[in-house]
Structures are given as structure tokens and as C-alpha cells.
């Protein structure tokens, strides 16, 4: 068993407890102890085969971790949300200084709680890093939310390691197989599995990937007392999602590339479109290596005015106006709704699994006001080689 899509379907087979082809949803919170006194081992918590209480482990969470470990090659700890994963990371590393830049507002929110409660010092990842010491943490988000642009992981890994600090990478916007941050020097990788891993907008989950089983054990012990293990039903849904992981992500990335290229090539026909942000439009040298498996399916556009941006989603038929990303359905969000620090002219788009031609037709209907231009563009879309 050697390739991604095979592993995403069979990576947990060795842990199956029943003859069901699909691991059933185990809803029990508690598990009977062995009748054999020799098997009653005090404190046997973190073995996926030893089931005691579902806050520590349960068969569906064990499936998720086994599958993700199989496809990534790294020990995985699953959580009940992406932010739980970040909280687990902060709690275990316990940094005195956190170097962080443009990153998910909720990660900043957790850092602010730490500032309030424990006097954590937050410094700018792109500024003076002299205060960063051994035992501290640098947290990098790439691709960067909400733009879908990229930061050079190797560059930040070097800066963090020079100071003896660890580098964590939130790679939510570029799930496997698009990006492996460890290859470029990351020490810990975080994903909001609510997004592409889940892929159906019907579950909340998060995960950490680490480099050794000792750290995984520590994180599991913390997770047990923080009460942040993924729930039974959600993990069964996540196992369902992983079965189509590669198919979904590879289709979403291709469609996003087609759409971004089309909008960029025809920008002069969209008078209200001011800017397009996406890694595929970035020319930095590191990108061809870091993102050699395809670009993130998320990008952002800025329209000329705030009113244009606020009213654009209502002109679309296929894109739901909603937050989040990574699902089978395409979403667009006037991003100021979720993040008050972002330009009020900015819209974030998450490309789903619809046909790229239909998505493009929807977008040009909303973006183009000239009927002639629109007809030319509709003909161009028909000619796309998809």
C-alpha cells in the first residue's frame, strides 16, 4: 500500500473491530474492562487499541489518526476543532514569546488569552526576533488567509531555528497532497480539518502533525484533560471524507487555477474588479518547490468599492455567501464579516467541486456589466480545455 488515495481509504483497516466495510459510528462513551486481571494495566491511555473512555480515545478517532498518519507519514493528534489543535499546541509548547504575523483571527485570539493570563509576549514574525528564545514558538500561516498567497517556509524555519525556537505551520489552506511543511523545516503542522479534510461543511475538527511519538504522547495526555478530543459522530464523518480526499483536493485546485487565470487574463473586461490575490499569480522562486503539487483552492478579490464588495455575493447563484472553505460547494465571503481587520472591499472565494465553466459563468454574470463583453466571455468559457 503505497500511494495517497489508497492510504486514505485503507490506512485504518488494521484497527477495524468489526466486519463492517465502513467502520460503524461507535457512540459509546465508556468501554468494558478486560475480565483477565493480567490485562488490567493502570493508566493505559494512549494506545488506540485500549479503549477506556471516549474523551481519551474511541474507535472512530483512532481511524482518523491512523489514516492521516498513513497519508502524511507523521504522528497525528486529532481534535474537536482547528482552534482546539492550536490551543493544544500552545499548552504543550508553553512559549514565553510567540512570533506570529498575518494568521487566522482565532489563533490571534488564543494568543491574546495567553497574553492576558500568562503574560505571553506576541512579536511580529517579520520584525525584530531578538526576544525569541529556546522553547518559544514561531507560528506561520501559509497559504495566508484570506488571500491564498504563500510564505516561504524554509526562510521562517531558518529564522526560528537560529533562535532555538520551534516553527509551527498552519497549512489549512493547502492540505495534503498540496503541501508538506515538514519538507521545508516545520516542526509541527496544524490543520483545521473542518475545511479540506472534512470537505463537506458538516463537521468541526482539527489536527496536529508532529515529528515523533514522544511529543504525540504528551499532546494526547493534554488533550485528555483539556477535553478536546474529536467527537464520535464527527470522526465517523471525517473518515467518510478522507476516502475522497485526494480526488476532491486535486479537482478543487485545478478548478481554482482555471478560474483565477481566466479572471486575471480578462481583467480589463471587469471594471469593478480591482485586485486578485492567489499564489498562482505570485512569482517568488520558492513557490515552484513548495507548491509543486498544485495551488490552494482559495483566493481573494478586491472590488473597487465597499458597496460593490458587499453586494457582489447576492448576484451569484452558485456561490453561497458564507464563511468557511474547503467544502464540495463553492463559497464566497465578504471577509469583513469574520475579520474586522481585513479590507472592506475584499471577498474570499473557496472553490468547490462544481464544473469550472459553471462557476466562471456565475462570476462573470456578477462582475461584468457590459452585455457585449459578457457574450465574448461566455464564448471564451466554452472554448476552455477542461
Ligand X SMILES: *Cc1c(COP(=O)(O)O)cnc(C)c1O
Nearer to ligand X, 48 or 106 (CB): 106
The yes or no reply on residue 83 touching ligand X (CB under 6 A) is yes
Asked whether the CA dihedral 360, 365, 366, 367 is positive or negative, the reply is: positive
82 lines the binding site for ligand X (CB under 6 A): yes
Contact stretch for ligand X (CB under 6 A) within 45-53, 57-65, 188-196, 233-241? 188-196
Interaction between residue 106 and ligand X (CB under 6 A): yes
- The window from 26-34, 76-84, 148-156, 312-320 that contacts ligand X (CB under 6 A) reads 76-84
Burial 82-102, CB ≥16 within 10 A → b, else e: bbbbbbbbbbbbebebbbbbb
Q: Pick between residue 9 and residue 230 the one whose CB is nearest to ligand X.
A: 230
CB of residue 92 vs ligand X: minimum separation in angstroms? 17
Element holding 97 (H helix, E strand):
strand 97-100
Q: What is the torsional sign of CA 99, 102, 107, 110?
A: positive
Residue 176 binding ligand X, by CB under 6 A: no
For residues 337 and 346, give the distance between their C-alpha atoms in angstroms, rounded to a whole number: 11
Q: Is 63 in the site for ligand X (CB under 6 A)?
A: no
For residue 163, cis peptide bond before it (omega within 30 degrees of 0): no
User: Which residues make Cβ contacts (< 8 Å) with residue 336, sequence separation at least 6?
Assistant: 342, 343, 344, 346
Number of DSSP helices (H) and strands (E) in the chain, helices first: 12, 12
228 binding ligand X? (CB under 6 A): no
| Shortest Cβ 80–ligand X spacing (Å) | 9
Q: Which one of residues 63, 81, 142, 368 is an interface residue with ligand X (CB under 6 A)?
A: 81
Binding of residue 327 to ligand X (CB under 6 A): no
Q: Please tell me whether residue 261 adopts helix, strand or coil conformation.
A: helix
How near is the Cβ of 374 to ligand X at its closest, in Å?
A: 33
Q: Does 220 bind ligand X (CB under 6 A)?
A: no
Does position 104 interact with ligand X (CB under 6 A)? The reply is yes
- The site for ligand X, by CB under 6 A, has a size of 15
Residue 80 is a binding residue for ligand X (CB under 6 A): no
Question: Cα–Cα distance between 142 and 342 in angstroms, integer?
Answer: 17
Binding to ligand X (CB under 6 A) within 133-172 occurs at 141, 145, 170, 172
Interacting residues toward ligand X by CB under 6 A:
81-83, 104, 106, 141, 145, 170, 172-173, 192, 194-195, 204, 206
Amino acid at each position: 500500500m503505497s500511494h495517497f488515495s489508497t492510504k486514505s481509504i485503507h490506512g485504518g483497516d488494521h484497527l477495524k473491530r468489526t466486519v463492517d466495510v465502513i467502520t460503524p459510528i461507535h457512540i459509546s462513551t465508556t468501554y468494558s474492562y478486560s475480565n483477565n486481571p493480567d490485562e488490567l494495566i493502570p493508566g493505559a491511555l494512549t494506545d488506540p487499541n485500549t479503549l477506556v473512555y471516549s474523551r481519551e480515545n474511541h474507535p472512530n478517532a483512532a481511524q482518523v489518526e491512523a489514516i492521516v498518519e498513513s497519508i502524511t507519514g507523521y504522528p497525528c493528534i486529532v481534535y474537536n476543532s482547528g482552534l482546539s489543535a492550536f490551543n493544544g499546541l500552545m499548552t504543550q509548547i508553553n512559549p514565553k514569546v510567540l512570533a506570529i504575523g498575518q494568521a487566522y483571527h482565532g489563533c490571534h485570539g488564543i494568543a491574546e488569552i495567553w497574553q492576558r493570563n500568562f503574560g505571553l509576549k506576541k512579536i511580529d514574525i517579520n520584525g525584530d526576533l531578538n526576544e525569541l528564545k529556546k522553547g518559544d514558538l514561531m507560528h506561520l500561516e501559509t497559504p495566508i488567509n484570506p488571500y491564498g498567497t504563500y510564505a516561504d517556509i524554509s526562510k521562517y524555519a531558518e529564522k526560528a531555528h537560529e533562535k532555538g525556537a520551534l516553527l509551527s505551520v498552519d497549512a489549512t489552506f493547502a492540505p495534503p497532497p498540496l503541501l508538506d511543511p515538514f519538507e521545508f523545516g516545520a516542526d509541527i503542522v496544524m490543520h483545521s480539518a473542518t475545511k479540506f479534510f472534512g470537505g463537506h461543511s458538516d463537521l468541526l475538527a482539527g489536527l496536529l502533525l508532529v515529528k515523533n511519538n514522544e511529543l504525540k504522547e504528551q499532546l494526547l495526555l493534554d488533550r485528555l484533560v483539556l477535553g478536546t478530543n474529536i467527537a464520535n459522530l464527527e470522526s465517523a464523518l471525517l473518515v467518510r471524507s478522507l476516502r475522497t480526499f485526494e480526488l476532491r483536493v486535486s479537482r478543487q485546485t485545478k478548478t481554482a487555477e482555471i478560474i483565477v487565470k481566466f479572471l486575471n487574463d480578462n481583467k480589463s473586461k471587469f471594471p469593478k474588479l480591482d485586485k486578485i490575490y492567489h499564489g498562482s499569480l505570485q512569482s517568488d522562486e520558492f513557490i515552484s518547490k513548495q507548491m509543486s503539487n498544485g495551488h490552494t483552492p482559495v483566493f481573494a478579490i478586491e472590488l473597487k468599492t465597499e458597496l460593490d464588495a458587499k453586494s457582489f455575493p447576492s448576484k451569484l447563484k452558485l456561490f453561497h455567501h458564507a464563511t468557511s472553505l474547503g467544502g464540495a460547494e463553492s463559497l464566497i465571503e465578504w471577509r469583513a464579516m469574520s475579520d474586522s481587520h481585513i479590507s472592506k472591499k475584499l471577498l474570499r472565494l473557496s472553490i468547490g467541486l462544481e464544473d469550472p465553466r459553471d462557476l466562471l459563468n456565475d462570476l462573470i454574470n456578477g462582475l461584468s456589466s457590459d452585455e457585449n463583453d459578457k457574450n465574448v466571455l461566455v464564448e471564451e468559457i466554452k472554448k476552455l480545455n477542461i
